């Protein structure tokens, strides 16, 4: 994994040095914090096609749930045939039960690599009574790690977000914080806030996905699995987050916020694309058929009922025998 760690370190350093340092300054906490944020955004953009595929796969799996239950009932005593029929059903509808985990699996190496890189950005162990923020003590306090020079290690470790060094964690010792100019109280307060935000954003992101799957008729088994993740993931972050450096907390919070917004946009667009043709097809024709004569609606009374129309009477005509009598009388005269 060392080459992968070195690649992540190279990305962080070059985003900082080439893009942000000219704007915010080389030793600014904003430049190092934003380099982590931009690295997160870059990773999520690379994973975006897989995320869209994951959402489509989940929808496909939900649509074929009734057919899957029918196959399970039909071939409950024949596991081999059931597996073949399931595979054929998945291929027919473009579904894959294992595709939903792919974006998360690909994020795990990035998370661990960034954790190792940021965790290595700190002073040497066993130091005391040395001001490691002073340039004169650079060589005595810092070593280079993963292609990052000692100078950049010192710059990143001493840069601060809201007065807290990026290299600091909740469980950092008072001595370690003093080496990089950190304060134990402010470090604990800010890390707790980030851990709470990280867990809350994870919770709402998972809840958002659960609400969408529930509305589209997800199976009870899938709903139960998502409900477990809804509470397990935030709890996991709360338990282990106290060991994460500030940079890792910032990375994971950015990932969660990006996932929440990306998920909402993609799901809304997919729902609109699916509902559009269905609404048009269900509406049906609104006018008369081509070539048909329009029918005028019957007038209604104030009470809403159609008035009775009297039958049309023929116009009054003179009796035919009277006209004949007049002609006969004229002939006699």
Q: 12 near 227, Cβ under 8 Å? A: no
DSSP 216-233: TT--HHHHHHHHHHHHHH
Rounded Cα–Cα distance for residues 331 and 295 (Å): 56
- Local mean pLDDT, 10-residue blocks, the chain (333 residues): 86 90 87 91 84 75 81 84 85 73 75 83 77 75 84 86 88 84 90 89 76 54 61 73 86 86 77 56 48 53 47 51 49 48
Task: Please choose, from the candidates 120, 18, 58, 5, the residue with its C-alpha nearest in 3D space to the C-alpha of residue 267.
Answer: 58
pLDDT, tens digit, for every residue of 230-274?
667 677 777 778 888 888 889 888 988 888 888 778 777 766 766
Q: 165 near 176, Cβ under 8 Å? A: no
* Domain ranges across the chain: 2-273
pLDDT, tens digit, for every residue of 192-224?
999 889 888 888 877 776 666 555 544 555 556
């Amino acid at each position: 994994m060392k080459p992968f760690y070195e690649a992540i370190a190279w990305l962080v350093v070059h985003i900082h040095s080439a893009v942000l340092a000219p704007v915010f300054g080389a030793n600014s906490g904003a430049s190092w914090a934003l380099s982590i944020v931009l690295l997160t955004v870059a990773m999520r953009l690379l994973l975006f096609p897989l995320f869209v595929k994951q959402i489509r796969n989940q929808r496909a799996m939900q649509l074929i749930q009734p057919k899957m239950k029918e196959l399970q009932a039909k071939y409950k005593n024949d596991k081999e045939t059931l597996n073949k029929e399931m595979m054929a059903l998945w291929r027919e509808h473009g579904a894959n039960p294992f595709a939903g985990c792919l974006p998360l699996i690909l994020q795990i190496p990035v998370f661990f690599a960034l954790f190792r890189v940021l965790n290595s950005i700190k002073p040497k162990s066993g130091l005391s009574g040395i001001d490691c923020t002073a340039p004169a003590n650079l060589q005595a306090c810092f070593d280079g790690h993963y292609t990052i020079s000692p100078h950049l290690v010192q710059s990143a470790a001493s840069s601060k977000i809201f007065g807290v060094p990026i290299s600091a964690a909740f469980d950092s010792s008072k001595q370690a914080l003093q080496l990089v100019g950190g304060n134990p109280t402010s470090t604990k307060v800010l890390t707790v806030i980030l851990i709470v935000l990280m867990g809350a954003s994870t919770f709402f992101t998972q809840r958002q996905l659960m609400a969408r799957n529930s509305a589209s008729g997800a199976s009870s088994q899938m709903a139960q699995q998502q409900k477990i993740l809804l509470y397990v993931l935030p709890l996991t972050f709360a338990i282990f987050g106290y060991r994460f450096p500030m940079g890792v907390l910032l990375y994971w919070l950015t990932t969660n916020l990006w996932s929440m917004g990306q998920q909402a946009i993609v799901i809304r667009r997919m729902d609109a694309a699916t509902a559009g043709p269905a609404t048009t097809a269900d509406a049906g024709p609104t006018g008369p058929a081509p070539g048909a004569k329009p029918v005028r609606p019957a007038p209604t009374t104030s009470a809403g009922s159609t008035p009775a129309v009297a039958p049309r009477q023929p116009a009054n005509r003179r009796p035919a025998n009277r006209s004949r009598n007049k002609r006969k009388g004229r002939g006699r005269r």
